[in-house]
Chain A
């Protein structure tokens, strides 16, 4: 018995030693160190993102007074509301149009900046980034004054040319145009800087080879620049689509969703219903409706990144 006991103790002792040594080697591994270093951020994300996400799921499953579980009842209710479908339509118009123009303008401006001699390029880059650097809430306030229904600086200027007055935020079509315009103004520099970085990474030899083959300007863009920028264009566009879909400040400040709800997007309508209307569960449901749309966009981003990684 004694031998057995001694034997078993030895086994335990050896196992303990192995555990200690494996712990020591695990701690020495780069991946473990990296994990430990990112742990505070993971916890922070857990607290600030995951918890509120699950809490909003919980809220979306309650009735208006938050006293009863209603499952998908709030979503069923939303699907029957005319205003909800107006918001869906408006969100799609807003996000797709704004992202399209941001990408287009970013692409064109990036080419212009790329062609500026290196000496003066930094100044231009800095100036063109200003709209993106200013907090959107602040710059939108300036736009609000420019679009003011009664004292619009734009209308004042246009009056010298015998045009207007244009109801910038008072007419549904103009109001949509205005919120999209401001979103493009704020977001286009982001595209510009991303595309500029991509342009700089295109090897000059490719253009030289294309020139020797007799490629014209358009062919160089189509067969050299675009294929080389494809990944960055996709990632930037999809990333911007997510951010634009979830936009709040621009619409809230400029039109607050009006006139007649024609500029509401998910976030602003969720705020109107949930916070201003004290129907928190319905507001949570409206904002959660963005999740499947944004999840699809995220899947595309991840697939694109993965593909890019494999190509590398």
Chain B
């Protein structure tokens, strides 16, 4: 083995030559020349769904030469909520963060408006539903890009066999796969009769009246179906009205046919109810069905996700959107906007929806008829009506049309559910309304 010794003169000469070469060479962009970007995504509960997002981000990062770090933050135990609130307080954290329902409005002061990119995406993908605008726009500015990941509709998921046998309702015929719904007879009265029949048969509807999101969303859709506003769009407390009285009377009748422990239900209770085979209907995105596919295939084969019953003032279904927002204190806003444009392209959206097994819902009009919902099963077509492809129902959110900051209080304090439970448990109607009025007035503080 030979070794050539480098003399001091040779070393200096070589160093000088190298330096000269480097200085005079043309500028070559390094692997991460466009800076760094950190993202806090919602941690998807569907196995493998996060991978689709990661792949799309990496694809963009490689093209744009941006160094990206992604944190998948679970909503379980309010981890994502806590992270978001903490970052807003600390004015430091991720560049992009996933925010759901009320957070864009409540943290609006800390969010970078993204109006121009959302308008461009709408131009490309079609308009968004009213709830997405209501929750995502403040003072005419978009506070986040509507994300398909995590967005959902909480509609009825019925047992085909049990509904047919006990209530005489063919949910597949009412909501046929690949066709527009034939659900004119699917009214709140028909719903009540079906609930009674299934209760008598020992397979009651699994609708909770607790204080968590699933419970609040369901009761909110019924309130809207009866035109029962508790606070109007201008922020005026209007709870003492006949529509509210009517929906409370309706819920009192309905609650008699629900499981007796419904006031203690949380977001997992209805899922367990369906998967265990004890109930004929729940109000949920197709997560319970997806779990049943794995744990109780005989139940999954009988599940059909469809639309809400129509009430005196219309047919409403709860839509809970997620947004990808950019913090005002983000260090790389331009890169963040570029990435959100990339994630909102139809191809990217389709990949994410597919990876979630059809659970994720794009908010954009042109993207609600992807193949995945028609093809998912068993039974095939069970998710066809999940994304509301025929605009058969108004996608809404509980406590709307109150101003979002007030509605958030109504929603988190579960005021509507509490009203129903109080009235059902024997409190006089006017006392319940007076209690609600006091609560709602307290939510007006600015």
Residues on A close to B: CB < 8 A?
Answer: 63-65, 77, 80-83, 149-151, 165, 167-170, 175, 255-261, 272, 275-280, 282
Contacts and interface: CB of A to CB of B under 8 A. Distances in A.
Given A169-B264, A258-B263, A279 B212 contact: no
B273 interface: yes
Interface size class of B (residues with CB under 8 A): 35 or more
A167 B264 contact: yes
B260 A259 contact: no
A253 B144 CA distance: 31
Interface of B: 78, 81-82, 85, 89, 102-103, 106-107, 109, 210-212, 259-266, 269, 272-273, 276, 278, 405, 408-409, 412-413, 418, 421-422, 435, 438-439, 442, 445-446
A282 to B, nearest CB: 8
Contacts of B210: 256, 258-259
Contacts of B269: 149-150
B102 A63 contact: no
Contacts of A167: 260-261, 264
Given A256-B211, A259-B210, A279 B409 contact: yes
B442 A277 contact: no
B446 A63 contact: yes
Given A150-B276, A175-B264, 19 more contacts: A63-B445, A63-B446, A65-B109, A83-B439, A149-B269, A150-B273, A151-B272, A165-B261, A167-B260, A167-B264, A168-B264, A169-B261, A169-B264, A170-B260, A170-B261, A256-B211, A258-B263, A260-B418, A278-B405
Secondary structure of the A contact surface, majority rule: loop
B276 A151 contact: yes
Given A151-B276, A256-B212, A280-B89, A65 B446 contact: yes
Contact of A277 (B212, B265, B413): B413
B211 A257 contact: yes
Nearest to B105: A278
A278 B78 contact: no
B81 A276 contact: yes
A277 B412 contact: yes
Nearest to B421: A260
Nearest to A55: B89
A257 B78 CA distance: 15
A255 B264 contact: yes
13 contacts: A64-B446, A77-B442, A149-B261, A150-B278, A256-B211, A259-B263, A259-B264, A260-B418, A275-B78, A276-B412, A278-B85, A279-B445, A282-B445
